[in-house]
Structure 1
Amino acid sequence: MSGGQHGALRVLRQRDFGTYFLGNSLSNIGTWFQNIAAGLLVHELTGSTLLVGAVNFAQFFGAFALAPLAGAAADRFDRRRLLIVTQVAAASVGAVLALLTLTGRVTAAVVVGAAGVLGLALAFMVPALLALVPLLVEPDDLDAALSLNSVTFNLARAVGPVLGALVVERAGYGVAFALNAASFLAFVAALMVVRPRPQRRTVGVRPSLFATVRTVRDQRTWAALLVAVMALSTTTDPINTLTPELAREVFGGSDLDAGLLVAAFGTGATLTAFTLLGWLRRRRHALVGAMVVQGVGMALLAVAPTLPLAMAALAVSGGGFLAGVTRSTVRLQSEVPAEELGRVMALWSLAFVGTRPFAALLDGAVAEVFGARAAALVMALPVLIGALWVHRVLREDAQTTGGGRAEAR
């Protein structure tokens, strides 16, 4: 067993992180029940991929609009308690959506509205979630912990869509929404158990997120890492927006096939996390290489002639995505001072989630006019173009610091 695998297993055996990992995994799986059910339901009600994109726009717009407040909240307030509040709020929204669906009163507008309210909770959740992880493990275990934290999202992406599609097929949309609500409460139970180390909070005059933007602008390496996260996240949008049309119309499949497409991406990411992260950590150009792999995989999706080949392309893209996000996030978490971490993670959230509403609208609009294949090809461009700029900045940083620091971490 590799050293990276040993480190991951050691961190999972720790009471606080192991409990957090389990609860967060269940919550993320439930979120994919919501995502796959919402996309399929709106596509069934309207037949419009653009409106499926509107669901994703609504879900992620809160992270864009509330990033200044969310980052400051993660630095000023207890992160564990803040997460509990957001999870309870999200569970309440999920329960209302399930009730409306089960009683036959759901409409496309209701689904979009529920996604928007869930997005408000998501905006406060992401910076607090990322800033909490360093308080659950020792500094030497941070790399493994952050990799495993990425695994929770991608393991959920591998398992959740398939299970969600099966639930939709066998029990209906309302049950899928209800299970999502229950998953939020499972994470609340886990958060009630964990005991993170004391948090160094911001006191006195509250620094604005715009001050943090200026700091990041002066730290070109941090800016490049955030651009990498933004490009990687933007290129994942076809997973949410295009899979209903790809499965049903391009490949002539079923709702389950839509879940399998999403799961293929998550499977590639999860396999990468458990088998390649230790190796990637020792490679100078791992981040840029991962960005290229993700973009090439998405481009291959656009031209795949069959569903199995499309799934293989998405698995490749998922592997690149996981490697790229982990490498960039680990470095940010390692370099940013603890008292600024919440605000910088709010910028991370803005890069990772805040760009997604606009990507969803662009993706849906291109698919509406030119088809899902053309949209997938267009969405491969951000990460491929971004890789060129990130490579240049990190290379200059490595030359300035006299070594291969920029991508060796």
Structure 2
Amino acid sequence: MTAHGTAHGTAAGTAPEIAAGAAPATAPATAPAAGGRRLPLVLRNRRFGAVWAAQVLTQAAGRMFQVGAVWWLVGYAGGADRGLASGVFLAVSTLPAVALAPLVARVIARCPHRTVLGGSAAAAGLVALGTAVWTYSTALPMTVAYGAALLLAGCQALFDPCLTTSVPELVEDADIEAATGFELATQSLAGLAGGLLGPLVVDAAGPAGIITGCAGAYLLAAALIGATRFPTGPHAHAPDQAKDAHAAVQATDARAPDGGGPAAPRTLRRILAELPFVRRVLLCFAAANLFTTAVFVVMPLFTRAVLHSDGSTVAALEAALGAGTLVGSFTGGRLPGSPTAVGAGCLGLLAVALGLPGLLGSQAAAVGSMAVAGWCVGVIGVRFVALFQRLVPTGDRAGFFAVMQALLGATFPVSSLVFGLLGDHLSPRTLCLVQALGVLPVAAALWWTGRREPATPDPAPAPQGAPAAQPIEDAR
């Protein structure tokens, strides 16, 4: 549960050429800086700026549709089964990123990135436009909403990792870190903006208004990609070159025991078998995700049944969660203590934050709790991604983070369905307490795991292109 997110939720299908550190393209078009000052990357590199704008549009549209549709189901269309209806919707919205991860990786590795980016954005725009036309002509059936969510999530699951993979093509080698920073910050900010606008647009214009806005954003993103000329020089991306580079890195980082040649690619099972501490930490976070990600189901139900409020309150809760996550991401690295000690403490505080609305039942408590919960998630993401970067061998990192993202993301559909179903039989205040009680044992388990935490090497910069997977999943 990050702003994010994370993680993105987004790196599940990272293609192999990023791990290989594929050679950057010839110098992209840049704008000179006025007065000798270096302009931000999105201004001095027009190609990257256009693709970055397309990212903002697609991710804000996707988040706006998701949050707005959940509020529409809870506040207007769900009826007596509003909890199950919203839970199914969120589960459907997150399945493609997990289920299609192997297919997405193959498509990105074999097809021109400009085609993949433009095609997925255009397809999402056409799906949203068709759904909007249907909505204006007649009442939107929930089955159509579910189908649109599935298709839009599939397009986004292809767009996001392809954009990450395209960074070395669009920027010079010295700008890769800056480009990655822009991309990750945009995920959080676009998710925050979309989550804020979604419920407000639904209250003002209904589902037709929000779907129309999403269609316009997706189609504009496709137009930006279509108008952007990707590099075609000798260093530009080509599928065969990417495969060769990936094989070269494997040959360098994974030698046979006798040193006589490259070893076979290492599977995640083999990697985790050699890292029992990392394996135990991942199990802790998978268990925590079952309870933390339920907040996206519980908070709309809490708004309607306990606060008796409208979409502006849902928007305020989303904004508090996103803002807290951003602050936690910037401040997490400054906290003293080992990652497991900090992580266990943050999980304990997160449990308190999730349970507090159930005890007090007020809007102020809910907004404050979401801000604290977001801060905890941001801190956990920063500390443990850095820890994994240092513990996982260099040659295994790209595959580890990609599969980790899919593994942790797989808990979100389960959480959405379970808490959605419970929401039709238990009060939202009770669900808040269930979340808190579920996270507390995980905090204790993580603290106990930290008693055997290995010493980590000195901090080192993250490898270029390593996906910023977050241990506490976002599903945004």
Q: TM-score, normalised by structure 1?
A: 0.78
Instruction: Name 2:216's counterpart in structure 1.
Output: 182
For the Cα contact (< 8 Å) 1:72–1:343, is it kept in 2?
Answer: no
1:23 equivalent in alignment to 2:50? no
Counterparts of 1:238 and 1:350 in 2: how far apart (Å)? 18
User: Which shifted more, 318-327 or 130-139?
Assistant: 130-139
Instruction: Name 1:95's counterpart in structure 2.
Output: 129
1:214-363 to structure 2, matched below 5 A, reads 214-220=270-276, 223=279, 226-227=282-283, 230=286, 233-273=289-329, 275-277=330-332, 279-280=334-335, 284-285=338-339, 286-329=342-385, 343-363=399-419
Relative to structure 1, the CA distance from residue 180 to residue 52 in structure 2 (aligned partners, 3 Å threshold; closer, same or farther) is: same
For the Cα contact (< 8 Å) 1:91–1:185, is it kept in 2?
Answer: yes
Counterparts of 1:384 and 1:149 in 2: how far apart (Å)? 33
For the Cα contact (< 8 Å) 2:333–2:383, is it kept in 1?
Answer: no
Q: CA deviation at 1:374?
A: 2.3
Q: CA deviation at 1:56?
A: 0.7
For the Cα contact (< 8 Å) 1:20–1:194, is it kept in 2?
Answer: no
For the Cα contact (< 8 Å) 1:212–1:343, is it kept in 2?
Answer: yes
For the Cα contact (< 8 Å) 1:239–1:262, is it kept in 2?
Answer: no
Relative to structure 1, the CA distance from residue 74 to residue 270 in structure 2 (aligned partners, 3 Å threshold; closer, same or farther) is: same
Relative to structure 1, the CA distance from residue 61 to residue 310 in structure 2 (aligned partners, 3 Å threshold; closer, same or farther) is: same
- Please tell me the residue identity of whatever aligns with 2:368: A
Counterparts of 1:172 and 1:264 in 2: how far apart (Å)? 24
Greater helix content: 1
Structure 2 residue ranges without an equivalent (≥5)? 1-38, 248-262, 464-476
- Please tell me the residue identity of whatever aligns with 1:201: A
1:74-89 to structure 2, matched below 5 A, reads 74-79=108-113, 81-89=115-123
Q: Which has more radius of gyration?
A: 2
1:35 equivalent in alignment to 2:66? yes
Counterparts of 1:385 and 1:272 in 2: how far apart (Å)? 23
User: Which shifted more, 291-300 or 164-173?
Assistant: 291-300
- Please tell me the residue identity of whatever aligns with 2:301: E
User: Which shifted more, 91-100 or 192-201?
Assistant: 192-201
Q: TM-score, normalised by structure 2?
A: 0.69
1:201 equivalent in alignment to 2:252? no
- Please tell me the residue identity of whatever aligns with 2:219: L
Aligned length: 395
User: Which shifted more, 171-180 or 69-78?
Assistant: 69-78
User: Which shifted more, 81-90 or 93-102?
Assistant: 81-90
Q: CA RMSD in A?
A: 4.1
Instruction: Name 1:5's counterpart in structure 2.
Output: none
Relative to structure 1, the CA distance from residue 264 to residue 114 in structure 2 (aligned partners, 3 Å threshold; closer, same or farther) is: same
Paired-residue identity, %: 23
Instruction: Name 2:85's counterpart in structure 1.
Output: 51
Counterparts of 1:87 and 1:180 in 2: how far apart (Å)? 11
Instruction: Name 1:371's counterpart in structure 2.
Output: 427
Q: CA deviation at 1:65?
A: 2.3
For the Cα contact (< 8 Å) 1:165–1:256, is it kept in 2?
Answer: yes
Pick 1 or 2: higher relative contact order, CA cutoff 8 A, min separation 6.
2
Relative to structure 1, the CA distance from residue 112 to residue 228 in structure 2 (aligned partners, 3 Å threshold; closer, same or farther) is: same
- Please tell me the residue identity of whatever aligns with 1:41: W
Among 178, 181, 186, the alignment partner of 1:152 is 186
Q: CA deviation at 1:381?
A: 5.3
Structure 1 residue ranges without an equivalent (≥5)? 1-8
